[in-house]
Every structure is written in structure tokens, then in C-alpha cells.
Amino acid sequence: MVLGSGSREHALALRFASEGHDVLTLPGNAGTARLPHARGRNLDGRADDVQGVVAAAKREQVDFVVVGPELPLVRGVVDALEAEGVRAFGPSRAAAELEGSKAFMKRFLERHGIATAAFEVFDDVDAAESYVREAARPLVVKTDGLAAGKGVVVAKDTDEALAAVRVAMREHAFGDAGKRVVIEELLPGQEASFHVITDGERFVTLPAAQDHKRVLDGDRGPNTGGMGAYAPAPVVTERMARAVEEDVIVRTLRGMRAEGAPFRGVLFVGLMIEEGQARVLEFNVRFGDPEACVLVPLVTGGFYDLLYAAASGALPRDVRVKDESALAVVMAAEGYPQKPKTGDAIEGLDRVPASQVHVFHAATKVEGSTIVTNGGRVLTVTATGKDLRAAHDRAYEAISHVHFRGEHHRTDIGARALSDHGKMR
């Protein structure tokens, strides 16, 4: 059973189905409802309703639950499933605090000597405001708790930082999640992310990925959940990858064990890289979306078995990865991210060439005989290829076949890597 309804969940469900498993997705989308060979169906419910998920898992006698989004993890869905004897992939509630509380995460990094931006934690709004005024330099203001991806403001100036503090702490725009804020220095550099799959002790590292958060080409416009991604990201050299494993991953897993909350599942480490140095921006305690769409197709061998082994505390030593690149482009609904329109028919899905292309569904649903849009990020069109250029061209070719009213996507996914490092891979 896969929990969630995005393109990440479709990528996972499709992979498990292709490996011969029957897959239930709760709540899923039009893609997970129609897995090949009738291997999948959707279940009604909400992924973050812990009791409902446990009841569904027992009713359907599922062998294994893979949790997509963060909220059920932070609410303790893995603990609740395991208490009922259902094996689940993902961290316990205590370990999920690495994403559930920025203050916990930053203090954890500090305790364990892991490089990150300098920071202060504030529970008091007056103290936060005077800190911002006195700092008089660019700052990043983050709500402590989960705020559906909207809790981070990268402020150019003091006014923007003050506004972010006010919205979170005086206007309570994010409820309890914003009662406490973390204010940190703005780091320059290029972002990249690492995903490691771990049984709490051993881990395997997936190729480094880069995503594109802003809605418009050239990294302009408002932040989104992610408009595209690619892997491997050439900004991360082999040497840097080994350094991140030693200085970040090993220390984090050891630290979590020492603090009595071993981390099992997939740890997604967001990094800022400058002059060959990587510092931790954030942890996520689940696969990124759209990152999962480029990572899952690059892993060879049994993906289900890999996750099951991690959840059982018996991870294999190595993961085999294709010597290829993958690139994903999100097709978004009119009005996304502010106010996405829904209910528009999606056309052309059957005209997309199947070879080395996956159209992962996100906000889609079946309505009669058509598939319609059902939210902001509608589809994640992913292609693989011998290098980034090949994956890029194939993904954009695939996109040209698919249409819905008001559709928009970025035309420059991977452009920076292609111009900086185009000849490297």
C-alpha cells in the first residue's frame, strides 16, 4: 500500500506493479488507479489520517506500506502500523522530527557538528523582530513546523524578513507551525539534494538530484512544490558525494541512534554548495516530489525489495544505478501555485511514446471516460537517456503531445547543468 497522491506515489506504485506486486494507493490519482495488468486500485481516505490508514491496511491485509508524504510520518503512521504488526517504510514519529521541526533539526546539526547556516530560534515575536532589525542583512525566516511548503521566506531585506515574522507569529497564518520560528543566514551557492535509503545504520546513496522550485523560467515567480528535476546533478562531484556521506549522512544516522530515534526510511538531504563546500539546508524524511520521479527509474534491481529490506533492518550493501540521466518536467494547472483551476480534460496521454518516457500522474482523477485535472501539479513527465541532453530532449518531446486548458510548465529544466557541464556526461 502506497500512501499519498502525487507523482512520487505514481512512480513508486508503477515500479512496484512492474516488479509483480499488487498495489493499493491511498488515496492515489488517475495513474495509480490504472496500473498495468490491473495491478492497482485506489482506496478512499486521507494519507494523514493515521487511524484510517491503519484500519485500511488491516482490512486489506497488506504486507507492506510505503509512505509518500511527510505529514503522516510526523503524525506517527509508521509507529501505529508497526504496533499492529504491519511493516512500513518510513521513519518513526520521533525520527520524522528531522523534518517536522526545523528547530529540532538545526539544534541536532549543531549538536553533531554538521555544517549548516548559522541560526537562532525564537518563541517570542518581539525578540524575533528586534533580531531581524539589528541583523540588517539578508535572512531566511522559517516556521518551525510543517506549513505545506510555504513556511520558508528567503528575505532580500529587513522589511521582507519582518513581514515573514509577522505573518507567522502575529497573524498565525500557519497555525501552531508558526508559533516558533528559525531565523538563519542566507547562504549563497547552488542547491542539490541527496537521497539515502537506510535501515538506521547502513545506507545506500542515490544519485544527486536538482529540482526547480520557482514557477517561471529563469527561477522567477513564486515558489512551488517543484516544477521539475533531474539526476545525476553534475554540480555534485564524486568527491563531494563521498564527503557528504561522511560528514553529513554517517553523523546524522549515528546521532539519531545515539538519541534513541534511529532513522529508517529515506532521508532527503537538501544542500547548498559553494566553492566545493556543502552545507545542510534541510532534511526531508521522505522522497522528494518530483525528485522521486527521476530517481526511481535510475535504480536497477528490485526497488520493492530494497525498501522492504530497509524497513526490516537488513539493507543490502549496494544499490545499482543505471549509467544514465533522468529529467522530469511538471505540467501545472492554470493559476498554480496561487489558485489552480481543476476539472479540465487532459488530452494526448495515449500519444506519448512509451520508450524511456513515463508520464507520472499527480493531481489527476478519472471522470467517466476522461482524465481531468484535480489540483496544481498535474503530471510529471519524465524521460531517461544516455545523458542529460538526451533525457531533456525526450522529456520535452513527450510533453508536446499532452494538452489541457491553461497548462504551463518550465521550458528550462536542466538548462543550467546543460550549459555549465553539458560536455561532462
> Residue from 76, 270, 302, 316 that binds ligand AMP (CB under 6 A)?
270
CB distance 66 to 6 below 8 Å: no
Return the range that interacts with ligand AMP (CB under 6 A); candidates 42-50, 186-194, 237-245, 326-334: 186-194
Q: How many residues bind ligand AMP (CB under 6 A)?
A: 13
> Residue from 144, 184, 291, 344 that binds ligand AMP (CB under 6 A)?
184
Please give the Cα distance from 109 to 116 (Å, whole number).
7
Written as nine digits, the cell of 323 is 549509467
Please give the Cα distance from 96 to 211 (Å, whole number).
22
Please give the Cα distance from 99 to 90 (Å, whole number).
12
Binders of ligand AMP in range 142-161 (CB under 6 A): 142, 152, 154
Adjacency order of strands within the sheet including 357-361: 210-211, 228-231, 325-332, 377-385, 357-361
Please give the Cα distance from 94 to 139 (Å, whole number).
29
Binders of ligand AMP in range 108-127 (CB under 6 A): 117
Please give the Cα distance from 399 to 378 (Å, whole number).
12
Residue 187 CB, nearest distance to ligand AMP (Å)? 4
DSSP 8-state symbol, 119 = E
CB distance 293 to 8 below 8 Å: yes
Written as nine digits, the cell of 311 is 524497513
Written as nine digits, the cell of 262 is 534511529
Residue 282 CB, nearest distance to ligand AMP (Å)? 3
> Residue from 206, 281, 332, 333 that binds ligand AMP (CB under 6 A)?
281
First to last CA, the chain: 37
Residue 280 CB, nearest distance to ligand AMP (Å)? 9
Please give the Cα distance from 36 to 40 (Å, whole number).
8
Phi, psi of 408 (to 5 degrees): -145, 150
Roughly what angle, to the nearest 10 degrees, separates helices 158-165 and 125-135?
A: 170
Residue 213 CB, nearest distance to ligand AMP (Å)? 6
Helices (H) and strands (E) in the chain, counts: 15, 22
Residue 276 CB, nearest distance to ligand AMP (Å)? 17
> Residue from 23, 187, 196, 418 that binds ligand AMP (CB under 6 A)?
187
Please give the Cα distance from 1 to 338 (Å, whole number).
31
Return the range that interacts with ligand AMP (CB under 6 A); candidates 19-27, 181-189, 195-203, 343-351: 181-189
Give the strand pairing for 40-42 and 210-211.
Answer: unpaired
Binders of ligand AMP in range 209-228 (CB under 6 A): 213
Does position 132 bind ligand AMP by CB under 6 A? no
Return the range that interacts with ligand AMP (CB under 6 A); candidates 56-64, 180-188, 225-233, 252-260: 180-188
Binders of ligand AMP in range 324-343 (CB under 6 A): none
Cβ proximity to ligand AMP, 260 vs 276, nearer residue: 276
Return the range that interacts with ligand AMP (CB under 6 A); candidates 50-58, 184-192, 245-253, 333-341: 184-192
Cβ proximity to ligand AMP, 288 vs 297, nearer residue: 288
> Residue from 115, 186, 243, 415 that binds ligand AMP (CB under 6 A)?
186
Any idea how long the chain is?
Answer: 425
Closest-by-Cβ residue to ligand AMP is: 282
CB distance 81 to 265 below 8 Å: no
> Residue from 73, 140, 285, 292 that binds ligand AMP (CB under 6 A)?
140
Q: Which residues bind ligand AMP (CB under 6 A)?
A: 117, 140, 142, 152, 154, 184, 186-187, 191, 213, 270, 281-282
